[in-house]
Structure 1
């Protein structure tokens, strides 16, 4: 059923007020809004209709109404694209992210923190999958007599450091091994590097070729330990400022959820081509069905390989949050494409 203009205006007023106050909204509150010019009786009838249609809920018998997931969905569809960040906010995002260009991971973590501060919500970001990227550089650095640091740099600029338990090898030998491995595997997809290929460099090591037999199981286990996904979370404690999480059990569930990086990665996956907004029961993942997930893709080397967004209550300032996420995602894409800001 298509809602008439009056119902839409009343629904928008209710949701705007509820977002700002976190309190159920009654007909008297609505009647005081300049955009609503009908009587309180008409407002009550329209609210009853909206509740019957599933756009509003009445949490208590004597209370006003609050939006349902369906109500929020209609609201988001109505406001999408109607709000744009101001020049000052855009300038702040550009200057803070552009000034942090040291390593790609630094920029990404800076973006995550900035989004958390600007929205007051819990923010999440996924990085390009390290295993699916190509090897660009590699070093083996002796830390002490029993530890070696393996540093791998991908074509997306992500740096991965892995500590290896290796004894009795001097730096000269480690440099030789690293150079041989790099020469063999540069521009090779990291996930495709296997033991047979590593073993093939043995003749190139000359008198040190026996070292490969010692290194093989160590390198194999280390490559296996690289995660299939990279996810970071910031602003988890922001939930304690929100009335939705005054309930200790609900707050604890949210904290546990934010520790499940695999689940968060799944939640972000669908934002592959454009902004994703999933409200409450629109989320297929059961643990997210009382929450909203908003995420947008950002590009590495022209591909939508990363996602940035928020996971929070269904009550939020959608137009501002969506605009902020999109602008930060676009800024990251520009930075990683070499566009001057």
Structure 2
């Protein structure tokens, strides 16, 4: 059943009020708001209809109503308005991101801190997926006899190192030549395609070095395998400041969910396929997040999605503000990583 304009207006007013107050909303509070030329009795009847339709819930017999997950979904899909960021919020985000960022891990950490500081919710971010990174540079550095250090640097700033065996006939000059050929020929190649490209394109040209190239490819592919689930988290205890989490068991369940990085890693990995996603309450697959909403966004290097980040908050989170913050952060992060790649 589609809601008429009056019911939609009343439902939106209830949701907006509950987001701000965290207290059940009564008909009298709505009747006092501007734009409602309706009596408390009329609003009460409309609220009863909304409850029957599954948009409102009554937590206590004598209390007002609170929005259901169904109501928040309708709100997000049809009624939500993005909130403009204030100058102070923009400055706060930039303050976390203007320091010299020599490592991607530091970028991730500062991004999570900025998100939690601005939204006051829990923030999480997954580092760029190594397989989707592109090659920036390969260098072979001679070590003791029969060994070389292979350094692979990706477009996102990741550096991976491996010690490989070097045949006796390959000297320092030859190592430098191979490094130069690989870097010039395969710069900007996706890391998950690099090994195949090296063997296909150089297998004949450097036939006498084929065994050595093969050992390099094996080392590269091993280093590009996913690490243990890695998620930067910030503001986990922010949720404990909300009245919904004054219940000790609910607070423990939430902390257990975010402390188990596997859950968040899989969540962000799935979200990396979508530019934005909003999952509300019972829509979450993980039972420990059934009382939360999760909003995620992706960031890019150039035009290619590299990873995702997001916010976990109560279902009554300020969705319009969170979406605006994530959009702004996505642009900042994309610009930062892309400009670093182009240097």
TM-score over 0.5 for the alignment? yes
Structure 1 residues 95 and 234, CA, compared in 2 at 3 Å: closer, same or farther?
A: closer
Structure 1 residues 217 and 107, CA, compared in 2 at 3 Å: closer, same or farther?
A: closer
Task: Quote the residue 2:313 is aligned against.
Answer: 312
Offset of 1:94 from its aligned partner?
Answer: 3.9
Offset of 1:217 from its aligned partner?
Answer: 12
Per-residue CA deviation, residues 89-122 of structure 1 (Å, 9 max, x unaligned), is 3344345424444444433332221111001111
8 Å contact from structure 2 (residues 127, 231) kept in 1 = yes
Instruction: Tell me the TM-score normalized by structure 2.
Output: 0.76
Structure 1 residues 230 and 189, CA, compared in 2 at 3 Å: closer, same or farther?
A: farther
User: In the TM superposition, what are the counterparts of 1:230-309 in structure 2 within 5 Å?
Assistant: 231-258=231-258, 259-260=261-262, 261-272=264-275, 275-284=276-285, 286-309=287-310
8 Å contact from structure 1 (residues 100, 107) kept in 2 = no
Structure 1 residues 311 and 139, CA, compared in 2 at 3 Å: closer, same or farther?
A: farther
Per-residue CA deviation, residues 11-64 of structure 1 (Å, 9 max, x unaligned), is 122212221222222223323333433222112111101101111111222221
Offset of 1:307 from its aligned partner?
Answer: 2.0
Does 2:33 correspond to 1:30?
no
User: In the TM superposition, what are the counterparts of 1:1-341 in structure 2 within 5 Å?
Assistant: 1-94=1-94, 96-138=96-138, 151-154=151-154, 156-161=155-160, 180=178, 183-184=181-182, 186-187=186-187, 188-192=189-193, 219=219, 222-223=222-223, 225-227=225-227, 231-258=231-258, 259-260=261-262, 261-272=264-275, 275-284=276-285, 286-338=287-339
Structure 1 residues 127 and 64, CA, compared in 2 at 3 Å: closer, same or farther?
A: same
Per-residue CA deviation, residues 278-332 of structure 1 (Å, 9 max, x unaligned), is 2123345555433211122222112232322212221111111111111111222
Per-residue CA deviation, residues 131-159 of structure 1 (Å, 9 max, x unaligned), is 2323323467899xxxx9865311x2231
SS of the aligned residue for 1:17 comes to: helix
Structure 1 alignment gaps of length 5 or more: 168-172
8 Å contact from structure 1 (residues 129, 229) kept in 2 = no
Structure 1 residues 165 and 29, CA, compared in 2 at 3 Å: closer, same or farther?
A: same
8 Å contact from structure 1 (residues 79, 319) kept in 2 = no
Instruction: Tell me the TM-score normalized by structure 1.
Output: 0.77
Provide the C-alpha distance between the structure 2 equivalents of 1:229 and 1:174, rounded to a whole number of angstroms: 38
Provide the C-alpha distance between the structure 1 equivalents of 2:139 and 2:174, rounded to a whole number of angstroms: 10
Provide the C-alpha distance between the structure 2 equivalents of 1:174 and 1:254, rounded to a whole number of angstroms: 55
Offset of 1:267 from its aligned partner?
Answer: 4.7
Per-residue CA deviation, residues 224-249 of structure 1 (Å, 9 max, x unaligned), is 65439753222112122122223333
Structure 2 alignment gaps of length 5 or more: 166-170
Count of residues in Structure 1 that have an aligned counterpart in Structure 2: 327
8 Å contact from structure 2 (residues 141, 150) kept in 1 = yes
Name whichever of 233-242 and 247-256 sits farther off: 247-256
Provide the C-alpha distance between the structure 2 equivalents of 1:109 and 1:280, rounded to a whole number of angstroms: 27
SS of the aligned residue for 1:127 comes to: coil
8 Å contact from structure 1 (residues 130, 228) kept in 2 = no
Per-residue CA deviation, residues 204-236 of structure 1 (Å, 9 max, x unaligned), is 59xxx9xx79x8899479526543975322211
Structure 1 residues 311 and 160, CA, compared in 2 at 3 Å: closer, same or farther?
A: farther
8 Å contact from structure 1 (residues 298, 329) kept in 2 = yes
